[in-house]
Amino acid sequence: MKNLFLSLMIIVLLSGCAVTKQDIDDINARLETQEQKIAHLEELINQFSATPEATQEQDMQIVNQLQALNNRLSVLETNSGSRNIQPNRDYVKPTITVVDASSDKGSTDIVALYQEARNHYQTKDYPVAIRTFQSIIEQAPNHDLAGNAQYWIGESYYALADFSAARMAFQHVQENYPNSNKFVDSQLKIAMTWIQQNKKDQARSILQAIKRDFPQYQNMKLVDQNLRLTQ
């Protein structure tokens, strides 16, 4: 009966999906092992049933093990008949837990984490500040503080004189958080990174756009100061 089942399973596999002989041998071996374990446990149950000294706890342990093996065998049999056998993937995409900004606890946690990151920035522990701000974005990308966190990542890189990384971080504010209160600030900082890299034309274009589009910008004096540096 067992050989008939395995033969039928092999025919189904060969006709329904692209598997190798090694795949079939592996499945057969795993089924054989599970069936041997089940047979052994059944024998133990019979022995314990005939032994007066057998306790109820021992019986239950064996029954549970037998049930677990039966379940595993069922899974193996189901998978062996699947037409969509896929190879294992070495890379698994990390799961990001998004905190609901409307949740009081989630919001409180993010605010505390944001303050922690700002403290790291204030004490000039920029690498730790960057990691902490980044964790806010990963945990709660839709939180009200996410745009600010992205901005301060840029400021941290700027303080480390990594102007290319800083510009990229500020650009993420422009692209991902257009409603952030750091939107114009990030635009100004992008221009400042260009100035630091002696790209005055790119900086001037951005600074002039700020003067044109945001004439009431509160840091306009800083915009004008940087414009003079592009002359």
Residue type, 139: Q
Q: Please tell me the predicted confidence (pLDDT) of residue 115.
A: 96
CB 183 within 8 Å of CB 174:
yes
Q: What is the pLDDT of residue 108?
A: 76
Instruction: Please state the length of the chain.
Output: 231
> Residue by residue, what is the 3-state secondary structure of 160-200?
CCCHHHHHHHHHHHHHHCCCCCCHHHHHHHHHHHHHHCCCH
User: And the tokens for 159?
Assistant: 């303080």
| Helix and strand numbers, DSSP H then E, in the chain | 10, 0
Residue 119, CB-side half-sphere exposure with 13 Å CA sphere: 6
Write down the pLDDT at residue 5.
47
Expressed in angstroms, the distance from the first to the final Cα of the chain is 90
pLDDT of residue 89: 30
The SS3 call for residue 55 is coil
Long-range contacts, stretch 174-182, CB < 8 angstroms, 24+ apart: 176/147, 176/150, 177/146, 177/147, 177/150, 179/147, 180/147, 180/148, 180/150, 180/151, 181/147, 181/148, 182/147, 182/148, 182/150, 182/151
The DSSP output letter for 94 is P
Looking from the CA of 228 toward its CB, the CA atoms found within 13 Å total 5
pLDDT in tens, the chain (231 residues): 444 444 545 544 444 444 556 655 666 666 666 666 666 666 655 655 554 444 555 555 555 555 555 544 544 443 444 333 333 333 323 323 333 444 444 567 999 999 999 999 999 999 999 999 999 999 999 999 999 999 999 999 999 999 999 999 999 999 999 999 999 999 999 999 999 999 999 999 999 999 999 999 999 999 999 999 999
pTM: 0.55
Burial 85-100 (b: 16+ CB within 10 A, else e): eeeeeeeeeeeeeebe
CB-based contact 177:197 (threshold 8 Å)? no
